[in-house]
Chain A
Amino acid sequence: AQSVAQPEDQVNVAEGNPLTVKCTYSVSGNPYLFWYVQYPNRGLQFLLKYITGDNLVKGSYGFEAEFNKSQTSFHLKKPSALVSDSALYFCAVSYYGNNRLAFGKGNQVVVIP
């Protein structure tokens, strides 16, 4: 079984400040971790993933995420938030031999000008 927790419903951040969106996971075996972003009334867009190797993963639009095995976390970060980063962010997890993704409930990010 696999599951994801995104503990915050909404993250508010001022434009230009660092942005962090939290994700913790539970999975049998080694996890494959993903971040997606969704703009209103649109499908999900892939941002980045962790499969193996370097714990710091860099993705699209200046986003990065850090895998922490001991804390079972995969937090999404951006050094300087833009108003255009305002969207719904989803963390998801899978593992070897399982074609299914388990999604968190999502975090609404609001970047304040």
Chain B
Amino acid sequence: DGGITQSPKYLFRKEGQNVTLSCEQNLNHDAMYWYRQDPGQGLRLIYYSQIVNDFQKGDIAEGYSVSREKKESFPLTVTSAQKNPTAFYLCASGPVLSNYNEQFFGPGTRLTVL
């Protein structure tokens, strides 16, 4: 899992709550990504950031928010607007203009809605 940490490993959310997933990297990468993984659907991109204080929506951004105040950190907030948030969430990082460089993944956070 390289130099990327995600916390917590498991997270439980009640209906109507916002929760924040942490992602930190010490690889000096400019780009960071959040993916959602559901069984049989592969990885879907939620948000990504190529530089501090800037980020773009991915394919399934509705109900999620992010910030990028530091190069090392890219937290993801799952808001109450996300109707089906139970999933495995993966954070990744890579060099900017990393279209030919591999992304490095964290160990993931499993979110369950009670």
Q: Check A74 for interface membership: any CB of B closer than 8 A.
A: no
Instruction: Specify the chain A residue showing the minimal Cβ separation from B38.
Output: A105
8 smallest beta-carbon distances between A and B, as pairs: A43-B105, A105-B42, A103-B43, A46-B102, A44-B105, A103-B42, A94-B99, A51-B100
Q: Within the complex, what minimum Cβ distance (angstroms) separates A3 from chain B?
A: 11
Number of chain B residues close to chain A: CB under 8 A: 31
Number of chain A residues close to chain B: CB under 8 A: 25
Q: Check B31 for interface membership: any CB of A closer than 8 A.
A: yes
> Is B103 a contact of A45 with CB atoms below 8 Å?
no
| Interface bits A24-63 vs B (CB < 8 Å: 1, else 0) | 0000000010101000011111100101000000000000
> Is A43 a contact of B43 with CB atoms below 8 Å?
no
Contact partners of B41 in chain A: CB under 8 A: 105
Task: Say which one of B11-19, B68-76, B90-98 lies at the interface with A.
Answer: B90-98
Q: Check B48 for interface membership: any CB of A closer than 8 A.
A: yes
The residue in A45, A51, A101, A104 that gathers the most chain B C-beta atoms within 10 A of its C-beta is: A101
Instruction: Specify the chain A residue showing the minimal Cβ separation from B6.
Output: A43
Q: Contacting A97 at CB < 8 Å: which of B35, B99, B107?
A: B99
| Interface bits B16-34 vs A (CB < 8 Å: 1, else 0) | 0000000000000001000
Instruction: Specify the chain B residue showing the minimal Cβ separation from A96.
Output: B99
